[in-house]
């Protein structure tokens, strides 16, 4: 069949329990998906071409509504707990049947794609959606199959996404009417009750994180790019730390902004697109990403749109601060379309430390790298809620705990092996506050952060004198090209050094408390690489 055909040809959808569908829209190209989205009033066409959509009351991931089916094949592999919560097989099957019944006599959209740019580890996937714009999202985000590949495409994993179908919590053993269910045995993901497209992307990421370690591949929640010297760099960091912004550098070639694997062949992107935060996006500080808001093909979630002239207001966070844009990686002028890079020479951990304690740039030993990789720290700023007066820490193992089905030790061990084997240097970059905590100090300017990142990647920090942070044990450069010396030592930037000492001890204690969960599963060298709490 031609890739843009619309027909009743089922293409094996019966294997997913889908019968008696109305029209099946197979692998529609971007213009046709625009037409269907606008025809169905799913979104609006904005100035210069992006499709603007609303996701309803779910404007971000619904982490508490994600479950993994507890079945014999995967049971002993999963790191069960508050993140990887079990749901019985029988409940999954019943909910699957009801979802299939709901979709009868309805239109569905199918995109047959791939996850993984390395042909040795590429996974064929199928995304079945109720909304046309979700199909466009999938087409943007995953690796598109060629017409020849579509003739032989057999999905290894399938996602069925039906936002208007809801669970019955008392019957299905879900937390709410929203659900994201991953069944590794049936190789099937069910998503319902939410229109937030990120659930599609992250469910496939979770699948890759489960499958690849068994093949000796480290799956990573990171961005990656390549310098003019051909050297690859990785950027790890939780939301809000600058991972996407800093990796989209005009002087470097982008491999991908979010999900990668590290195999014996090098680095490879899992995806074919990017999913960036849009709130307060600046053409001066993020020109490459900002330009995607002015092109046909981009999907913008919850971005404010003028009803008169259809211009965007990227500064408006009325609906959510988590406004998002999904675009094909070809929208970034300096991106590589093959999604591949060599073994990284530099690895950067990004954190937004709102406590104002961590140095803006420091170098980690391999043991410290594994400790902080498992910790996955950043901080949220104080909110407007009454009584909330200081930042709160966020620890997400491997910088992506919600998507890591296996124990974090598995991923950390793979990281440590690769750092040692390939001699990668690891840096911790604090994009947060200096001179005091949030509300007192100032956030590190993006140009200064870029200067620190570039100096680390270019080797300009290697021979500079350093001092050792007495609490965290980091080696901190005394100077950095393009960065004021006074911000490199956080204690000296505080007006009250004793207040800094107290804050540093407090944050060190938070690290230690969080790491207790993992301390019995790691070596003494890794445990000893944490901050001093005495």
List the one residue out of 207, 211, 252, 216 whose CA is nearest residue 234. Answer: 252
HSE, side-chain direction, 13 A CA sphere, residue 135: 27
| Annotated active-site residue in 134, 201, 243, 491 | 243
Catalytic status, residue 231 = no
| Annotated active-site residue in 70, 257, 258, 353 | 258
Catalytic status, residue 244 = yes
- Total residue count of the chain as it appears in this document: 534
| Annotated active-site residue in 30, 44, 74, 239 | 239
| Beta carbons of 52 and 293 less than 8 angstroms apart | no
Order across the sheet with 43-45: list the strands: 43-45, 51-53, 299-301, 324-328, 273-277
Strands (DSSP E) along 168-265, which ranges?
179-183, 188-192, 218-226, 232-237, 253-256, 259-263
Catalytic status, residue 239 = yes
Give per-residue burial for 295-330: e unless 16+ CB within 10 Å, then b.
eebbbbbbbbbeeeeeebebeebeebebbbbbbbbe
User: How many CB atoms sit inside 10 A of residue 348's CB?
Assistant: 26
Catalytic status, residue 221 = yes
| Annotated active-site residue in 244, 245, 263, 493 | 244
Strands (DSSP E) along 398-483, which ranges?
425-430, 433-434, 442-443, 466-468, 475-477
| Annotated active-site residue in 126, 134, 139, 221 | 221
Which 3 state secondary structure label does DSSP give 370? Answer: helix
| Annotated active-site residue in 202, 277, 407, 425 | 202
Catalytic status, residue 153 = no
Which 3 state secondary structure label does DSSP give 520? Answer: helix
Residues with catalytic function: 61, 202, 221, 239, 243-244, 258, 324
């Amino acid at each position: 069949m031609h890739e843009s055909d619309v027909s009743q040809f089922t293409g094996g959808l019966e294997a997913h329990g889908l019968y008696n569908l109305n029209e099946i829209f197979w692998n529609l190209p971007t213009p046709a998906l625009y037409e269907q989205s606008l025809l169905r009033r799913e979104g609006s066409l904005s100035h210069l071409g992006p499709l603007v959509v609303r996701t309803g009351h779910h404007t971000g991931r619904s982490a508490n509504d994600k479950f993994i089916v507890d079945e014999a094949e995967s049971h002993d592999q999963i790191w069960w707990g508050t993140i990887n919560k079990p749901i019985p097989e029988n409940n999954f099957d019943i909910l699957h049947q009801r979802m299939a019944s709901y979709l009868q006599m309805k239109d569905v959209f199918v995109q047959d794609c791939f996850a993984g740019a390395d042909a040795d580890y590429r996974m064929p996937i199928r995304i079945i959606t109720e909304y046309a714009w979700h199909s466009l999202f999938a087409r943007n985000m995953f690796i598109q199959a060629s017409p020849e590949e579509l003739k032989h495409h057999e999905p290894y994993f399938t996602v069925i996404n039906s936002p208007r179908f809801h669970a019955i919590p008392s019957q299905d053993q879900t937390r709410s009417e929203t659900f994201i269910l991953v069944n590794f045995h049936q190789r099937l993901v069910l998503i319902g009750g939410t229109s937030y497209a990120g659930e599609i992307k992250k469910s496939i990421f979770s699948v890759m994180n489960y499958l690849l370690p068994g093949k000796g591949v480290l799956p990573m929640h990171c961005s990656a790019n390549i310098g003019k010297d051909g050297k690859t760099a990785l950027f790890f960091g939780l939301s809000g730390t600058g991972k996407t912004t800093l990796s989209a550098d005009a002087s470097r070639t982008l491999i991908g902004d979010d999900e990668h694997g590290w195999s014996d062949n090098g680095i490879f992107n899992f995806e074919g697109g990017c999913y960036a935060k849009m709130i307060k996006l600046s053409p001066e500080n993020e020109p490459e990403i900002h330009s995607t808001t002015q092109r046909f093909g981009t999907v913008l979630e919850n971005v404010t749109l003028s009803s008169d002239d259809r211009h965007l207001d990227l500064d408006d966070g009325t609906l959510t601060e988590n406004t998002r844009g999904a675009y094909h990686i070809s929208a970034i002028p300096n991106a590589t379309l093959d999604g591949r890079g060599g073994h990284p020479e530099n690895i950067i951990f990004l954190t937004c430390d709102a406590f104002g304690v961590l140095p803006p740039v420091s170098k980690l030993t391999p043991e410290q790298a594994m400790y902080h990789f498992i910790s996955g720290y950043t901080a949220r700023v104080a909110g407007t809620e009454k009584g909330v007066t200081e930042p709160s820490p966020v620890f997400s193992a491997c910088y992506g705990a919600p998507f890591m089905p296996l124990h974090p030790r598995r991923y950390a061990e793979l990281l440590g092996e690769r750092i040692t084997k390939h001699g990668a240097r690891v840096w911790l970059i604090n994009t947060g506050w200096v001179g005091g905590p949030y509300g007192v100090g100032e956030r590190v300017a993006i140009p200064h952060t870029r200067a620190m990142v570039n100096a680390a990647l270019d080797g300009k920090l290697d021979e500079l004198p350093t001092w050792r942070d007495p609490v965290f044990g980091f080696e901190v450069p005394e100077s950095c090209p393009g960065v004021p010396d006074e911000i490199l030592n956080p204690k000296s930037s505080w007006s009250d050094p004793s207040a800094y000492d107290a804050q540093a001890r407090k944050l060190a204690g938070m690290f230690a408390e969080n790491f207790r969960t993992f301390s019995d599963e790691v070596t003494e060298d890794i445990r000893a690489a944490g901050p001093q709490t005495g």
